[in-house]
Structure 1
């Protein structure tokens, strides 16, 4: 009888733990995600607000300003004629189009894999430990005789993060890894691809600063640098830079020469 009661209690306890874990997982939200939705989103909308008079003036300037480009419809590509292409218009700031981080990609390229494919195992395991997600291989899309590269050879690994996993990785990068770097002033103000997306590159010593890698760093036979690509919904670099600075990523301001500072 006691065995049946104990088994029933154990099964009920497991069911309670499963239900509690499921409810906790449903209600869980990363700290950085909570900060964005509760505080940063409203601040970004206020900072990007443009008065109606200024907005009308910007629209007038947009209609008058044209950018010279190259037309691809010319019959002879060597004699392309120039046409005027209108500049892309930035949408008005509303609560529905506030800049937001959509995806973070952590990428490791391993040159040693050209000679030995087993070196990619270190990159795959390092990405899995740091991000908590299974990494996927990246294979060469074309041949390159200079690098002795053939199409289909595995050369890199990457992990795509979205949702709470993305915010947890950014939070760990901003609060733990970057402050422990000795010489890191931040991203340059000119960084970005022009569409609000940013890329950061780190050497092989930085991956050992993650808390998950401290205890197992010496077990890896090969450690390489990694790249972090941050994709946002911003259409230009300034809104994306404002978003990332609000999340805690530092930006390096250009320093003026000493002669100019003395003159001022």
Structure 2
């Protein structure tokens, strides 16, 4: 898997950045910060030999379960509407692959909503999440550093979607939580941690020491 993350060339990375800029004619703040500051900081920290080795954010996956939607279609509609408002993109409804009689679940019934963000929407969502939504979490003391998957990807759970500024709490039909996964090209969790921290993800006190790359 580590080798797969190194397949994209510098040219491909530049094409992705150009695509982002062409979509709106502007560069998202976090992408601009990545190019001007984050790359250099990570190069110095991990002693990379070239810029191709510097990890970057590839995509953000957001998903939520809607078990009650099997009994009430209005709940599903409300979740889809709110999710679209939050991420700025039409979400996909996930459906049961097989029936589970104990849960009165039939094959094909909706069980969740998910969306994958890339390019400009990815950076804009991350910016809003870090700087607007997270500060509205009650009794927040930082995200755990134990939710990396061993391959440089990080998942954080949000208990209430009403922390997002796009949601009018007075019009919410159902409060739901969600999982947000930051998928990076980092080969190790230590490198992914450093990348996300550079972007401003507020982690709690580090439990695992940062290891320098062997490359």
**In which range does the TM-score fall when normalised by the shorter chain?**
0.7 to 0.9
TM-score (structure 2 length as normaliser)? 0.81
Match of 2:169 in 1: 217
8 Å CA contact retained: 1:140, 1:149: yes
2:187 & 2:49 partners in 1: Cα distance? 11
Q: Tell me what 1:106 maps to.
A: 62
The within-5 A match list for 1:112-261 is 112-204=68-160, 207-213=161-167, 216-253=168-205
Q: Provide the rounded CA distance (Å) in 1 between the counterparts of 2:109 and 2:44.
A: 49
Report the equivalent of 1:97: 53
Instruction: Find the aligned partners of 1:106 and 1:125 in 2 and give their Cα distance.
Output: 14
- Counterpart secondary structure, 1:146: helix
Name the TM-score, length of structure 1 as normaliser: 0.66
Q: Which runs of 5+ in 1 are unaligned?
A: 1-22, 50-91, 256-264
The structure whose Rg is larger is 1
SS at match of 2:155: strand
Cα distance in 2 for partners of 1:99, 1:109 equals: 30
Aligned residues: 187
Question: What is the aligned-residue RMSD (CA, Å)?
Answer: 1.9
Deviation at 1:24, TM superposition (A): 7.8
Whole-angstrom CA distance in 1 between matches of 2:132 and 2:24: 26
- Whether 2:31 is the aligned partner of 1:33: answer yes
Structure 2 gaps, min length 5: 1-20, 208-215
CA separation of 1:25 and 1:101: change in aligned 2, threshold 3 A: closer
Mapped partners of 1:238, 1:254: distance in 2: 11
Task: Report 1 or 2 for greater relative contact order, CA contacts < 8 Å, sequence distance ≥ 6.
Answer: 2
Task: Specify whether residues 247 and 129 from structure 1 end up closer, same or farther in structure 2 by C-alpha distance, changes over 3 A only.
Answer: same
Task: Determine if contact 2:56/2:186 at 8 Å carries over to the other structure.
Answer: yes
Contact 1:107 1:159 in 2 (8 A): yes
Q: Secondary structure at the match of 1:242?
A: helix
The 1:93–1:141 alpha-carbon spacing in structure 2 relative to 1, beyond 3 Å, is farther
CA contact (8 A) 1:128 1:135 kept: yes
- For residues 143 and 229 of structure 1, what CA distance do their matches in structure 2 show? 27
